[in-house]
């Protein structure tokens, strides 16, 4: 009812504007009136339908798997790209998984989500990557209990070379690529090198899960909710050599902002068990659940992609694996390395000038060394 | 509190609850997770993940296998836990085992939960499990118990929407009558579809009466089995979405002029459905209280389908009550 009333008022106003306009103009009165009215009537009619943006195309690989199952719903609901952004969701997986993918498509339909324009299941990269705006590369060998990160390396080089080439060939050049499948940093580097026509800055890998885990550990220690902890940093590789650094983190305690070290009041924990807890959390979850940490990974993916799309808050930074060339922290070039990042206009920038003490330096170097080794092994596989 | 908290549906559901999608963006939550003792290690993993999600509304997560802990002072209970449905398994296979589960949980609600608790039963056979729980919790009003038919409701909306080429939110006032089983009756005689030309009655929008009276009904009735066949697993994602919709509508009410489907206590209903059943009706909700939408015209086609699903529910109830007395 209120809508009809508003529309009627709108029509009357526009009619009046048209009449006044025609009176003031020097053109033929009647012609002008008809012209302006018809143009305005069209805009009124369009105003009856909810005004929405053009849909964006988003591909998720490994779409039949655990992490995607937790993730796709959040994307389709609007939690990542915004409540007014319609989405065409492309689900890519290997041929044996196509029947499972059909089940996922059925479920997404059954969720009755308004933003989901279309769901396209496929096993073909030329369909999967065509004209896409965002790619979330989840698919890789799943991590099982006891499996080391390096076990995954060889098989994954093949996967990410193919996908990098497909991005190069089919995706929009503005595509934002988030690599999740482990080993994430090295897979991201391989994909980026296989897509030379897409800027290296468009590629990133997920360390937001580790970042969220670190925030949560500090928050629980301080007895606050995790949104009261900010500016935690994850340096380096999304592996057990990652360095969760809280030297620049802040905790909001009863309204006043305190440095993390002062809030926690336990330096030994922050330099010891806190770090190892975050580093080994993935393995701990697998041990308990017998499955990978899909729910929290999906949440971190949403956070990462949403921050790329909408930017980070003033004064706050988050962690992302990005291309290390040109960094001011003495990290070797030609790596995908996790840094503290701020984002604006879909562009990230490493937060410069943070003081680094000897403790941090040693840890940052250790994880860089692992990444250099992974890269060199991977590049060998790549050139074969 | 969520039962079956270590399982598939809960895994999809807990995140949405903790995020604020159900009880509101300003409502902090203490989440209680109940499952059977062998699942406690898995439950610990779920607790870790919920912490790692860094969600501001989640005040506390308590994992337990004890009813006296899980049901204490509850405001809302979502009873997901029951025997999981596998490929080929019939609904009635689950009945006997579930009577034992829901009698115990009904008694626990009666003993420990707030008297204002809202209970949503999901575990199948949902309607009969809900009835058993309600009968085992005599000090809690029967109106506080409901079972999930929102998934079928959402599926029906989605089928009509795809047929008409509109988003699913443009389809409203679909009704699911009866049992959350293959005898459910998806009824679109009162459904409206928002097309670009305006709001149309569903039959006028779809322009295919034989589909609406035939394949459409069969598709919705058997969708659960179709998803299991494809995924080899139950439809956790869409079930979790439907649970959120159902509980959110209880908490915040339904929009004016719109009704949704819920399994509720049938005693006093205006449609001649037998009393003493949990039967899915069209309902409107205000101030956390539901009311069956009355005065909807029911033709012969609808009446026979409504009776068939009622008959199945009476048979399930009588079998269950026999188990209850045993």
- Please give the ipTM for the structure prediction: 0.91
Query: Directed axis angle between helix A153-170 and helix A184-193, to 10°?
Result: 40
Radius of gyration of chain A (CA): 25
pLDDT at A2: 52
- Provide the pLDDT confidence category of residue A322 given band limits of 50, 70 and 90: very high
pLDDT tens digit string along A112-126? 999 999 999 999 999
Q: Is A375 annotated as a binding residue?
A: no
Cβ–Cβ of A212/B167 closer than 8 Å? no
pLDDT at A38: 44
Query: Which chain A residues have a beta carbon less than 8 Å from that of B14?
Result: 295
Query: Directed axis angle between helix B40-52 and helix A273-289, to 10°?
Result: 130
Q: Does B325 reach chain A within 8 Å, measured CB to CB?
A: no
Cβ neighbours of residue A325 closer than 8 Å, sequence gap 6 or more: A200, A333, A334
Q: Is A84 annotated as a binding residue?
A: no
Q: Out of A100, A110, A216, whose CB is closest to B158?
A: A110
CB B217 within 8 A of CB B185: yes
pLDDT at B16: 95
Catalytic residue among A238, A247, A248, A304: A238
Query: Which chain B residues have a beta carbon less than 8 Å from that of A104?
Result: 231, 237
Of A320-324, B227-231, B246-250, the range with the lowest mean pLDDT is B227-231
SS3 track for B134-163: HHCCCCCCHHHEEECCHHHHHHHHHHHHHH
Calculate mean pLDDT across residues A36-62: 64
pLDDT at A44: 42
What's chain A's average pLDDT? Answer: 88
pLDDT for residue B310 is more than 70: yes
Q: Out of A103, A109, A288, whose CB is closest to B45?
A: A288
Cβ–Cβ of A106/B53 closer than 8 Å? no
pLDDT tens digit string along A144-155? 677 666 667 888
Q: Is A156 annotated as a binding residue?
A: yes
Q: Out of A107, A215, A287, whose CB is closest to B54?
A: A215
pLDDT at A14: 53
Q: Is A143 annotated as a binding residue?
A: yes
Q: Does B169 reach chain A within 8 Å, measured CB to CB?
A: yes
Cβ–Cβ of B167/A114 closer than 8 Å? yes
Q: Give the phi and the psi of residue A124 in degrees, each rounded to 5.
A: -105, 125
Of A35-49, A166-180, B168-182, B217-231, the range with the lowest mean pLDDT is A35-49
- Provide the pLDDT confidence category of residue B47 given band limits of 50, 70 and 90: very high
Sign of CA dihedral A376, A378, A381, A382: negative
**Which tokens is A377 given?**
């092994």
- Provide the pLDDT confidence category of residue A35 given band limits of 50, 70 and 90: very low
Percentage of residues in chain B having pLDDT higher than 90: 88
Calculate mean pLDDT across residues A185-205: 97
pLDDT at B137: 97
Calculate mean pLDDT across residues B37-60: 95
**Which tokens is B61 given?**
């997560």
Cβ–Cβ of A70/B229 closer than 8 Å? no
pLDDT for residue A192 is more than 70: yes
Active site residue B170: no
Q: Which of residues 13-32 of B touch A (CB under 8 A)?
A: 14-15
Calculate mean pLDDT across residues B216-242: 93
Query: Directed axis angle between helix A98-110 and helix B150-164, to 10°?
Result: 100
Q: Which of residues 107-166 of A touch B (CB under 8 A)?
A: 107-114, 116-117
pLDDT for residue B289 is more than 90: yes
Cβ–Cβ of A99/B59 closer than 8 Å? no
Calculate mean pLDDT across residues A148-168: 86
pLDDT tens digit string along B124-181? 899 999 999 999 999 999 999 999 999 999 999 999 999 999 988 899 999 999 999 9
- Provide the pLDDT confidence category of residue A15 given band limits of 50, 70 and 90: low
């Amino acid at each position: 009812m209120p809508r009809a009333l508003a529309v009627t008022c709108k029509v009357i106003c526009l009619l009046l504007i048209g009449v006044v306009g025609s009176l003031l103009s020097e053109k033929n009165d009647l012609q002008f009136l008809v012209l302006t009215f018809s143009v305005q009537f069209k805009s009124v009619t369009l105003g009856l339908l909810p005004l929405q943006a053009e849909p964006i195309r988003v591909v998720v690989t490994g779409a039949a798997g655990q992490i995607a199952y937790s993730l796709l719903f959040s994307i389709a609901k609007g939690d990542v790209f915004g409540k007014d952004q319609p989405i065409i969701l492309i689900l890519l997986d290997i041929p044996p998984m196509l029947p499972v993918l059909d089940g996922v498509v059925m479920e997404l339909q059954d969720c009755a989500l308004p933003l989901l324009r279309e769901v396209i299941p496929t096993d073909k990269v030329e369909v999967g990557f065509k004209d896409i705006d965002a790619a979330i590369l989840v698919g890789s060998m799943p991590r099982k209990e006891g499996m080391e990160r390096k076990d995954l390396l060889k098989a994954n080089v093949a996967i990410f070379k193919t996908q990098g080439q497909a991005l190069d060939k089919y995706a929009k050049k503005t595509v934002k690529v988030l690599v999740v499948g482990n080993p994430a940093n090295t897979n991201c580097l391989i994909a980026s090198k296989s897509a030379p026509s897409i800027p290296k800055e468009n590629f990133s890998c997920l360390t937001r899960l580790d970042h969220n885990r670190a925030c949560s550990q500090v928050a629980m220690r301080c007895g606050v909710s995790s949104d009261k902890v900010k500016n935690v940093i994850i340096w380096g590789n999304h592996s057990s050599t990652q360095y969760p650094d809280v030297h620049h983190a802040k905790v909001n305690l009863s309204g006043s902002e305190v440095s993390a070290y002062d809030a926690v009041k336990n330096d030994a924990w922050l330099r010891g068990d806190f770090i190892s807890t975050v580093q080994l959390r993935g393995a701990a979850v697998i041990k308990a659940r017998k499955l990978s940490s899909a729910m929290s990974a999906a949440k971190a993916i949403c956070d990462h992609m949403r921050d790329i799309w909408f930017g980070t808050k003033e004064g706050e930074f988050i962690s992302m694996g990005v291309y290390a060339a040109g960094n001011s922290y003495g990290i070797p070039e030609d790596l995908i390395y996790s840094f503290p990042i701020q984002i604006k206009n879909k562009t990230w920038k490493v937060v410069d000038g943070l003081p680094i003490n000897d403790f941090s330096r040693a840890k940052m170097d250790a994880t860089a060394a692992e990444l250099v080794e992974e890269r060199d092994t991977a590049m060998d596989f790549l050139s074969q």
